[in-house]
Amino acid sequence: MMLRVAMDQVVRGLVSASKSIIKCRRLEGKVAIVTASTQGIGFSVARRLAQEGAKVVISSRREANVNSALAQLKAEGLEVSGVICHVGKEEDRHKLLNETISKYGGLDILIPNAAVNPAVGSVMECSESVWDKIFEINVKSTFLLMKESLPYLRKSKSPSIVIMSSISGYQPFSLLGVYSITKTTLLSLNKTVAEELASEGIRVNAIAPGVIKTKFAKALYESEEANEATLSVIPMQRLGEPDEVAAVAAFLASDDASYITGETIVAGGGMRSRL
């Protein structure tokens, strides 16, 4: 246990140090939208994109969360703006896109990160209403935002979409059955849309995070028993940090990944995912 605590402290120190030495400006002049980006992975992605020079529009369903995140990011000297957006509402998605174009004049990077999991349990115990809610936010809103953003992305010189899937899309979590199904669906959405849009120069890729230390994944590590069970399937023997996922997103959104489309990068500490 003491060794694990020491390892966690080292990882936090390395991640903290990396924030202060980021000098790469791969996204200079680009405009990005990151949904559900006021905390957790979404917040770290928004911050990393802005650190690399992008003008970033963050969003959340709650005004207080948007204001809090904006204050923190602006205090770091980053170029960010915020919009209240429930991705399941058409009018909110349109407002997000319209305000982005109005403020920054275009769109180069779209990262639909919003996801929900309102119930824990097996697939066959899931109610119809819960099934519909999870698919509405995790899959349908991702698809619709991608579709609605196309007129703007088509005007970009290097447009990129990065879908946020999950390692559970490859290896389902028993208590997150329907959530896992939606994340598998996003893997297929990624492959299919990437092929459709490749001829237009729009790259589409995905990230499949493993167990990342966020509030969303708290049930997988908050108790000692849950933490031990989770670490037992992670070869690196630690949880991931949101900034480690953000680094992957920045790479995929940048021209360093200019010949990559239709791919999914697993950031899971070596967890089993695929061949």
Domains and CATH numbers, the chain: 25-212+241-264 (3.40.50.720)
Predicted confidence (pLDDT) per residue in 100-129, tens digit: 999 999 999 999 999 999 888 889 999 999
Please, which pLDDT band fits residue 217 given cuts at 50, 70 and 90?
confident
pLDDT at 145 (0 to 100): 98
pLDDT at 184 (0 to 100): 97
pLDDT at 8 (0 to 100): 61
Average pLDDT, the chain: 92
Dist. CA 201–CA 154, nearest whole Å: 8
pLDDT at 15 (0 to 100): 54
Rounded to an integer, the average pLDDT of 44-61 is: 98
pTM of the model: 0.90
Rounded to an integer, the average pLDDT of 219-232 is: 88
CA angle (146 as vertex; 141, 150 as ends), nearest 5: 145
Dist. CA 67–CA 199, nearest whole Å: 39
Rounded to an integer, the average pLDDT of 236-249 is: 97
Quick check: 21 pLDDT over 80?
no
Rounded to an integer, the average pLDDT of 41-47 is: 98
Alpha-carbon torsion (211, 213, 216, 220), positive or negative: positive
DSSP category for residue 116: -
Please, which pLDDT band fits residue 25 given cuts at 50, 70 and 90?
very high
The residue annotated as part of the active site, out of 104, 152, 170, 179, is 179
Please, which pLDDT band fits residue 20 given cuts at 50, 70 and 90?
very low
pLDDT at 120 (0 to 100): 84
Dist. CA 254–CA 28, nearest whole Å: 10
> Dihedral angle at the C-alpha atoms of 229, 12, 58, 71, nearest 10 degrees?
130
Quick check: 3 pLDDT over 70?
no
Burial of residue 122, with CB atoms counted within 10 A of its CB: 0-12 exposed, 13-18 middle, 19 or more buried: exposed
Predicted confidence (pLDDT) per residue in 137-178, tens digit: 999 999 999 999 999 999 999 999 999 999 999 999 877 889
User: Among the listed ranges 20-24, 27-31, 74-78, 241-245, which one has the minimum average pLDDT value?
Assistant: 20-24
Active-site residue 179, yes or no?
A: yes
Structure tokens at 153: 């992305």
Dist. CA 61–CA 88, nearest whole Å: 10
